[in-house]
Amino acid sequence: MDVIFYISAIVALLCTIMVVTRKHIVHAFLYLVVSLFAISVIFFVSGAPFVAALEVIVYAGAIMILFLFAIMMLNLGKDSVKKEKVLLTPGIWTLPTILCVVLLIELVYAFRSVRLAGSPVKIIDAAQVSNSLFGGYVLAVELTGMLLIAGIVGAYHIGKEKKREYHRYLQTNDSENE
Amino acid sequence: MVTVEALGYIMPEIVLAIGAVVVMLMIAVKRNAILTNVATILTFIIALFFLINQPQQDVNVTNLFFVDSIGRFLTGLILCSAIVITIYSLPYFKNQKELKEEYYILLILATLGSVCMGISNHFVSFVISLELLSVSLFALIGYLRHESTSIEAALKYLIMAAVATSFILFGFALIYTVTGKMDLQGLTSFSSGSNMNFIMLAGFAMTIVGFGFKMALTPFHLWTPDIYSAAPAPVAAFIATISKGAAFVFLLRLFYNLGGLQQESVWIAFAAIATSSMFIGNWLGLRQENLKRLIAYSSISHLGYLMVGFLAISQDGIRSSMFYLLAYFASILAIFGMITYFSGKKGELIKIEDYRGLFWSKPWLAAVFTVIMLSLAGIPLTAGFLGKFYILTAGMGTGKIFLLIVLAVSSTIGLFYYLRVVAVMLSREESSIGEHIGSNSFMLKLAMAVLFVLIIWLGVYPSSFLQMIGI
């Protein structure tokens, strides 16, 4: 299992470096999703399948899609259509795909491996997680709820706009031409 | 599991949480700045009431929280400071075009975060309350979002806080790797059993860096002046007092429980941070023309003094640090109150030059201002002096002579810039202060008067407060 951990860790690191060095934000997201998959594999082989599933569903699924949605909404106009055409040239998606395939192979190997059953890794399932979340850690869950209120109220205040104003970084060419 | 009996001990926190929701719903029904302000103050007062009526004993509330006398003292201190800051906020935001009501929700939530941090007994509860505090503070710093400086400051704080949190998390993870425990009591039982290894030390180092960011100790202090000068004065007061105090108390709990300070290398790291904070804070303040930046440098050096109490590793050290926190809170709240008092339609008076000749046009206010400055400098008969005195006593008791010499020398350097402000106020020239919000806010005047009395009281007759700390 150590080998799987190291390979996934390298994939995660590589992807995260790619995230911060990409110029185009959608490409960065592509790598971020792969990085989250890699972390999810690490969780899986460390005996936390529930957290691994959550990582994929919540982070790679819900949050990333929301991000992508928000970005697509911000870039309306003819210009962005032109930009989107060159978004998916083969050079862009090759590396993430290869990395994803590596992770997939790892996952299949981990599933087929019989050693997981005999290894010292203790598997923690969903029931145990929810028992501690709503047992001893219930106050932490409540406090997290307050954290979400803070986030929402803050975002509501900062993001509220009466007049539509673009930040200078977000101004595209066609909005300048108008 | 949580028992009803145990919940009684965290009633102040529960009241704050309910208060935040109630205030939010109230805004949904009717937007009114004064009403919201009063509701916020009421929330804090009810929380304070529950705190005072608590039985005085040390109790574990699940694994996550531990309510003891330090925690209670800090909770009380934070709630009182929050009341003062709420009072500042009403007149301060009156002139702003921004919607004012959301501010109070965020203020209550930030207070909740810091109160929970003060009684945290577990890495999880600490990290969540730290995040609660930071997330509320981003929005509070950038509250006047039409000013580019304020958004810039919010972004800076966002990045800094994220870096600090990730350092703290990684440090905690490393400590957990070695010990297998995340609650402080479990860590105590571990530390008595075995010695430190490399991973543990790395964990300590990461944690120290994270806390250094949070408490703005040198060399992690660079964000402080920018954010103090750009944030609204009441928010800056919040950052300077409540958030630092809460982080300090958890640091105290962590290292006193874990016994990391007995390690030579950890102790030296802290001593180096304390020494450089005291010197660099005071040194950078010397030629500062901007009053809010000057307070930022002053607060860096004050946290350095506080670390001397922390490094004494004794009950006296804890007691003196708590008293110092009280004195520091009072002085910093008062000085930000002064800035709030003199801010007008055109904004805050943040240049020291703006206060030229204040003594001849408004002698009473200038006198209060002078006393606050003297308290920050640590002149006898003010709170700041006794705070430093107790810290020195605690340090003397454990023979940390080097730090004490640094404390004495650096506070002498600091005296220069505090007195420079007083000298500017005393100079015989026409005062250029125009209309300011303090002149027609009774509550603000009252808050300033209370803080003024408190500073003098702490400096002259501290025994009643020492009893309150009673650790």
Q: How far apart are the first and last CA of chain B?
A: 29
pLDDT of residue A119: 61
pLDDT in tens, B129-169: 999 999 999 999 999 988 888 889 999 999 999 999 999 99
pLDDT of residue B78: 96
pLDDT averaged over chain A? Answer: 81
Q: How many helices (H) and strands (E) would you count in chain A?
A: 10, 0
Residue of A nearest to B125 (CA): A140
How far off is chain A from B350, nearest CA to CA, in Å? 25
pLDDT of residue A172: 56
pLDDT in tens, A9-25: 999 999 999 999 988 78
Q: What average pLDDT does this structure show over B72-96?
A: 93
pLDDT of residue A118: 54
Q: What average pLDDT does this structure show over B255-277?
A: 87
d(CA B75, CA B393): 25
Q: How far apart are the first and last CA of chain A?
A: 59
Percent of chain B scoring above 70 in pLDDT: 98
Residues of B in contact with A160 (CB under 8 A): 99
- C-beta of residue A8 within 8 angstroms of C-beta of residue A42: yes
Q: What average pLDDT does this structure show over A96-114?
A: 84
B94 touching A (Cβ < 8 Å): no
Q: What are phi and psi of B433, to 5 degrees?
A: -75, 120
Q: How many CB atoms lie within 10 A of CB A107?
A: 18
How far off is chain B from A165, nearest CA to CA, in Å? 11
Whether pLDDT at A177 is above 60: no
**Region for A65 from its dihedrals, namely left if φ exceeds 0, alpha if ψ lies in -120 to 50, beta otherwise:** alpha
Of the partner residues A136, A154, A156, the one whose CB lies closest to the CB of residue B62: A136
pLDDT of residue A70: 81
How far off is chain B from A151, nearest CA to CA, in Å? 6
B62 touching A (Cβ < 8 Å): yes
Contacts with B, A 146-165, CB within 8 Å? 146-147, 149-151, 153-158, 160
Q: Do B135 and A143 touch (CB under 8 A)?
A: no
Of the partner residues A144, A154, A160, the one whose CB lies closest to the CB of residue B138: A154
B66 touching A (Cβ < 8 Å): no
Q: Do A158 and B112 touch (CB under 8 A)?
A: no
Of the partner residues B2, B110, B112, the one whose CB lies closest to the CB of residue A138: B2
A76 touching B (Cβ < 8 Å): no
Residue of A nearest to B136 (CA): A150
Whether pLDDT at A35 is above 60: yes
SS3 state of residue B347 = strand
pLDDT of residue A178: 38
What is the band of A76 on the pLDDT scale with cuts at 50, 70, 90? Answer: low
Q: Which two tokens stand for residue B79?
A: 């709630």
A90 touching B (Cβ < 8 Å): no
B199 touching A (Cβ < 8 Å): no
pLDDT of residue B201: 87
Whether pLDDT at B418 is above 50: yes
pLDDT of residue B304: 94
What is the band of B99 on the pLDDT scale with cuts at 50, 70, 90? Answer: confident
Residues of A in contact with B125 (CB under 8 A): 139-140, 143
Of the partner residues A143, A150, A160, the one whose CB lies closest to the CB of residue B116: A143
A160 closest CA partner among B99, B320, B364, B461? B99
pLDDT in tens, B164-200: 999 999 999 999 988 888 888 888 877 654 556 888 8
- 């939530």: which residue's tokens? B109
Query: DSSP label at A58?
Result: I
pLDDT of residue B382: 92
pLDDT of residue A123: 77
Whether pLDDT at A173 is above 60: no
- 């543990």: which residue's tokens? B200
- Tell me the ipTM for this assembly: 0.90
B430 vs B90, higher pLDDT: B90
Looking at B312-362, list the stretches that DSSP marks H as alpha helix, in order from N- to C-terminal side.
315-342, 358-361
Q: Where are the domains of chain A?
A: 2-177
A71 closest CA partner among A31, A34, A23, A29? A29
Residue of A nearest to B155 (CA): A158
pLDDT of residue B206: 94
Size of interface A-B (CB pairs under 8 A): 78
Q: What average pLDDT does this structure show over A155-170?
A: 72
pLDDT of residue B156: 93
pLDDT of residue A114: 57
B226 touching A (Cβ < 8 Å): no
Of the partner residues A137, A139, A143, the one whose CB lies closest to the CB of residue B132: A143
pLDDT of residue B345: 79
Q: What average pLDDT does this structure show over B261-269?
A: 85
pLDDT averaged over chain B? Answer: 90
pLDDT of residue B147: 85
pLDDT in tens, B425-447: 988 877 777 788 888 889 999 99
Report whether CATH 1.10.3720.10 matches the domain A2-177: no
- CA–centroid distance for B2 within its chain: 30
Q: What average pLDDT does this structure show over A51-76?
A: 83
pLDDT of residue B247: 95
- C-beta of residue B350 within 8 angstroms of C-beta of residue B339: yes
Of A86-100, A111-125, B266-280, B355-369, which gets the smallest average pLDDT? A111-125
Q: Do B102 and A157 touch (CB under 8 A)?
A: yes
Q: Do A140 and B61 touch (CB under 8 A)?
A: no
How far off is chain A from B102, nearest CA to CA, in Å? 7
Q: Do A158 and B142 touch (CB under 8 A)?
A: yes
Of A75-79, A99-103, B59-63, B186-190, which gets the smallest average pLDDT? A75-79
Instruction: Give the predicted TM-score (pTM) of the model.
Output: 0.90
pLDDT of residue A174: 47
d(CA B66, CA B71): 8
pLDDT of residue A167: 63
